[in-house]
Amino acid sequence: MKTTLKTTLVFSLGMLASAGALAMSSTPPSDPITDFQNSWAGKALAHQRSIDMNSPLADNSMLGSHNTYNSSVYSDPTRYIDPQQKHSIYDQLRIGARFVELDAHWTAHTHGWPWEWGTDLLLCHSGIGTEWGDLHVGCSLTDRRVSDGVQEVANWLNDNPQEVIILYFEDHTDGHHQELLNILNSKLNGKIYASNGCKSIPSNLTKAQVRTAGKQVVLWKDGGCSDNSGMKNLAFTGLGDIGRTWEDRTAVGAIGAFFTGGAVNRIESADVVQAFKNGVNIVNLDKLTYNDGRMAAGVWSWDNGEPNNYNGNQDCAVQWGNGRWDDADCNSNYHFACEDNNGNWAISAWGGRWTDGAQACSQLGGSYHFAAPTNSKANEALKAVKGGMSHVWLNASDRAQEGKWVAN
C-alpha cells in the first residue's frame, strides 16, 4: 500500500512539474496582423508609403477601408448587424488602411442610464436619409459614438507618429459641426492639417508637407462648406484630383442588386491591381484583412522577396524587365529612368553607377531628371518605354538609412 501511494505521489508530482515546464516554455500565440506586417507584402506596402512621401496625394496608390466603423468587432444583436469590416478601426490601420471612413449621424441613442439618453453623434450606417423624430432611420439606438471611433484613430496615430492618413467623414450631423469639431480637437489634439477654408485637397499636397507641419491627418468632410468657422478652416470639402473607388459587400447591397437587376460591386485582388494601373489613387475595401490577397495586390513596386539587401550591399533600386523592383549594388552599371515635368518617361542614352543618374538624365534635354515612379500608373509607363531592357536604375535608395527607402 505504501509503495502504491509513493508511486502515485511521485507520478503526480512529475506530471505537475512537466505541465509547469511546458507552460513556462510555451510561447504565446502570434498576432496574425503583426505577422502580416513582418511579411513581404506588409513590408513592401510600408516601403511604398515611404517612397511616395514627397509625391502628391493625387499621385499616390493608397489602400483604405469602406465604412471603416461598420465592423463585426462591434456587432451585437442591436447594432452593426450587417457589417462591412472584420477588424477594429485600430487594426484596419495596422493592416495598412490609410483612408478611414466614419459616417457621423446626429441621432437618438440609449447609451448610459435612461436619464442620459438623448441625441449624440453616432457612427451609423443608415443610408436611407430620412428621420423619424430624433432617430435617423436605419441607425441603431446603441451604435457607437463618433468619439469612440476617433479615439481609436488617435491611438493608432500616437503609436505611429510618422504616418499620414486621410480621415473622411460622411456628414449626417444635421449641422452639429461644433460637436464634431469638439471631438476632433479633443481626440486628435492638433494632428489635423488645416484646410484654411472651404476647398478641395490641393493637387500638390504631399504627406511630407503634412508631416513638416507637424500633422498626420488630412480631413475630408462632405456635405458642403460648414458655417462653423473652426470646421470651415480645418476640413477639406472635396478630394480634388484624388481618384477613389469602393465596393459594397453588405447583405443590404446584395438584396438591392437582386431587386434592381444590378451587380454587386465587389473589388477582388485583380481589381486592386488594375485600379492602381489605371491611376486610381484610393481603393476602399470591404472586409479588409491581412490574408485575402487584396493587400498584397496593392504592392505595385517590389518583386516578391525584395528588397532583401543581399550580401549587405544593395541600397539602390532598379526596375526589372517585368516592371517589378529589386535592390541592387549601387556600383553596378545600368541605364537610368528619366522623367520630364509632364510625366513622360525615357531611358538615358548611356549607363553607369547609380550616382551618375542626374547627369545621364539631364543630357536628354528638356526637363528630364533622374526619377522613380511613385504610383502604379507611372511604373507601368516606365516599363513601356524600356524597350526590352532588363534593368534600369530608379532614383530610390535606402543609402541614408538601411530599410528606409526614399525616392526622388
Q: How confident is the prediction along the chain (408 residues), in pLDDT tens digits per residue?
A: 444 434 333 334 344 344 444 344 455 668 999 999 999 999 999 999 999 999 999 999 999 999 999 999 999 999 999 999 999 999 999 999 999 999 999 999 999 999 999 999 999 987 666 777 788 888 999 999 999 999 999 999 999 999 999 999 999 999 999 999 999 999 998 999 999 999 999 999 999 999 999 999 999 999 889 999 999 999 999 999 999 999 988 765 544 444 444 555 799 999 999 999 999 999 999 999 999 999 999 999 999 999 999 989 999 999 999 999 999 999 999 999 999 999 999 999 999 999 999 999 999 999 999 999 999 999 999 999 998 899 999 999 999 999 999 999
Among 243, 265, 297, which residue terminates a domain?
A: 297
Pair 325, 235 in one domain: no
* Structural domain harbouring 213: 32-297
Domain-embedded: residue 48: yes
Residue 9: the pLDDT is 34
* Contact (CB, 8 A) for 384 and 378: no
Residue 147: the pLDDT is 98
Residue 2: the pLDDT is 40
Domain-embedded: residue 16: no
In Å, what is the CA distance from 41 to each residue of 46, 294, 402?
9, 10, 18
Pair 253, 113 in one domain: yes
Pair 293, 314 in one domain: no
Residue 146, domain CATH: 3.20.20
Domain-embedded: residue 179: yes
Kindly give the residue spans of alpha helices, DSSP state H, lying in 26-122. 32-37, 40-51, 89-95
* Contact (CB, 8 A) for 152 and 89: yes
Pair 332, 288 in one domain: no
Pair 268, 323 in one domain: no
Pair 139, 197 in one domain: yes
Number of compact structural domains in the chain: 2
Of all helices (H) and strands (E), which one includes residue 170?
Answer: strand 165-172
Q: 268 — alpha (psi -120 to 50), left (phi > 0) or beta?
A: beta
Predicted structure pTM score? 0.90
| DSSP three-state, residue 185 | helix
Domain-embedded: residue 12: no
Residue 190 has φ and ψ, to the nearest 5°, of 80, 20
Among 297, 325, 344, which residue terminates a domain?
A: 297
Nearest to residue 127, comparing CAs of 286, 224, 248?
A: 248
Pair 253, 378 in one domain: no
Verify cis geometry, omega within 30 degrees of 0, for the bond prior to 29: no
Among 272, 297, 322, which residue terminates a domain?
A: 297
* Contact (CB, 8 A) for 197 and 233: yes
